[in-house]
Structure 1
Amino acid sequence: MSIGEFARLAGVSVRMLRHYDHLGLLVPERVDPWSGYRSYGAAQLERANRIVALKDLGFTLDQVGRMLDGGLSQEDIALLLSERREELRSQIAADRHRLAAVEARLRVIQKEIPMTEYIETALPELHVVQQTARIEEMSQIEAEIGYMFTRVNEAIAAAGAPHVGPGVAIYTTDGDGMIAAAAEQIGDAETPPGLERATVPAASRALTGRYEADDLLGIQRAWQDLVAEGERRGLSPAGPAREVYLETPMDPAGTRWVVDLQQPVG
């Protein structure tokens, strides 16, 4: 069949078939010595399909050639496929993160923030066990805090300590950065290995609001609105901010996020 007909059946361009021929990847069955016209056989479609499939997986044409012509062992091919799988997983994870960031930014712009009324109240002193991390960029918070809560609760479960209150994220300004803490309340139980004891100071005055949603994509905007409301009331932040997780989808009976945002003010 002609190069045009073969290109149609293989799902590639004539230009690409000529490129494959130049590289020795897919050589025509016959080339007319006078006209230079290339002719292909139906049996070559299987090789064309493999080239396209491997190329779509992200392999270079050099790698494709070695894989098809036996230049690589089965172990080498398996290693290449494993490496490509990890690259694709990382790419998918990065794309999901970017999509979440876009959705969060849209909520900020559109102000779709499920918040109850703001209340001025006092905050009690909390005694917690925690893990902390210094945050330089706000984009780090989402990645860090989730992992820290996982480690904290795994340590608590391993120690058999009871929970006596909801989990709390605590954000303390530290120069140009911030110290983020994932904290749980376990009363007087012995401190599990790997965790530290801490006391969150009481606040005589704080502005609070409750965030309720199926996810946390709108929580940044909720904090922005809470602080803006504080400014309208002539208040300014005056101590570590708290997120108290009254309900989460990870709870045994939890279905959504119910979070008290608590900002001590002066």
Structure 2
Amino acid sequence: MLFKIGEFSKLMQISIRMLRYYDEAGLLKPAQIDEATGYRLYSAAQIPVLQRIKLLRDVKFSVAEMAVALAHGDERAFIGELERKKAELEEELRLERQRIARIDRALRDIREAGPTHPCEVSFKSIPSLRILSLRKIIPHYHCEGMLWEQLFRFIEREHPELRQQSHRNLAIYHDEEHKEADVDVEVGVLVEWAGNNGDGCSFRETEPVANMACLMVRGPYENLERAYQSFACWLERNQYQMTGMSRQICHKGPYNEADPDQYLTEIQNPVRSLA
């Protein structure tokens, strides 16, 4: 027995318009087309396919993704596509939660103290530092963790002697401007002496900085943006100008602190006085 498109629409609780759309998209062709009338006819054997299409639609599969998931009728391939979409949605959810948290912080800042906060800046003379570092162009700043993972894999294999300091990890940002993509970042650890280079990792000495403006930022890394804004106000108010590459020193972070609210990051910027 075959069902006319209207009957199939009622039984499956899906509009005729969508059935025609799935036909045109190649996802669900009618079982038969009546040669005399041109009517689309469907069979009960097509119900499982339509159920899968409705599931895929409801969990935000595009038509192209549906076509891939349904291509061969392979159960394992279908499960694999569902797992892939699940991971994609979980990442979207994580990003949405970050956006909500950012809105919450902005609301708190506006209600409590306005959009910017005063910052305490200290000055240091930074000598040349012997480091083992990895420098790469990465897609965006959030990918910095990949550099640290690669660097620490090299350290685990080569066992260079690290300096016994609480703040031995640093990141150097080589771009002259903030970039939305393809950012030039170097991550490094302080070492006692140079060893053999490899896997993109190399031993070198940093440039000394006579006048480094430093400020401490507590809490999760999302607080860094607000700290830089406050630092900009400080530069203008005190008539200082940045003169080189900014650095960040991780005193407390994911490697030694479980609670992001307890992170402690030091922002360092070479400056000169305009006064």
The two structures share one fold, judged by TM-score above 0.5: yes
Deviation (angstroms), 1:162 = 4.0
Counterpart residue number, 1:187: 192
The reply to whether residue 226 of structure 1 matches residue 249 of structure 2 is no
Change (3 A) 1:55 1:168: same
Counterpart residue number, 1:154: 153
Distance 1:41 1:73 in 2: 17
The TM-score with structure 1 as length reference comes to 0.68
Change (3 A) 1:147 1:104: farther
RMSD between aligned residues: 4.7
Q: Secondary structure at the match of 1:225?
A: helix
Distance 1:120 1:242 in 2: 15
Correspondent of 1:25 among 25, 29, 48: 29
Q: Percent identity?
A: 18
Counterpart residue number, 1:211: 217
The TM-score with structure 2 as length reference comes to 0.66
Counterpart residue number, 2:141: 141
Change (3 A) 1:66 1:227: closer
The question of whether the paired residues in 1 share the 8 Å contact of 2:133 and 2:187 is answered with yes
Change (3 A) 1:88 1:149: same
The question of whether the paired residues in 2 share the 8 Å contact of 1:163 and 1:184 is answered with yes
Deviation (angstroms), 1:265 = 1.3
Distance 1:103 1:246 in 2: 24
The question of whether the paired residues in 2 share the 8 Å contact of 1:130 and 1:198 is answered with yes
Q: Secondary structure at the match of 2:122?
A: strand
**One-letter code aligned to 1:198:** R
Counterpart residue number, 1:250: 255
**One-letter code aligned to 1:127:** R
**Number of aligned pairs?**
251
Counterpart residue number, 1:15: 17
Q: Secondary structure at the match of 2:162?
A: coil
The reply to whether residue 52 of structure 1 matches residue 57 of structure 2 is no
Distance 1:175 1:41 in 2: 62
The question of whether the paired residues in 1 share the 8 Å contact of 2:119 and 2:215 is answered with yes
Cα deviation code 1:61-98 (max 9, x no counterpart): 9948985xxxx474xx7567757865775686578568
**One-letter code aligned to 2:131:** V
**What runs of 5+ residues in structure 1 fail to find an aligned partner?**
none
**One-letter code aligned to 2:173:** Y
Distance 1:65 1:107 in 2: 40
The question of whether the paired residues in 2 share the 8 Å contact of 1:206 and 1:262 is answered with yes
Change (3 A) 1:59 1:203: same
Distance 1:232 1:172 in 2: 26
The question of whether the paired residues in 1 share the 8 Å contact of 2:197 and 2:203 is answered with no
Distance 2:29 2:204 in 1: 65
Distance 1:155 1:95 in 2: 33
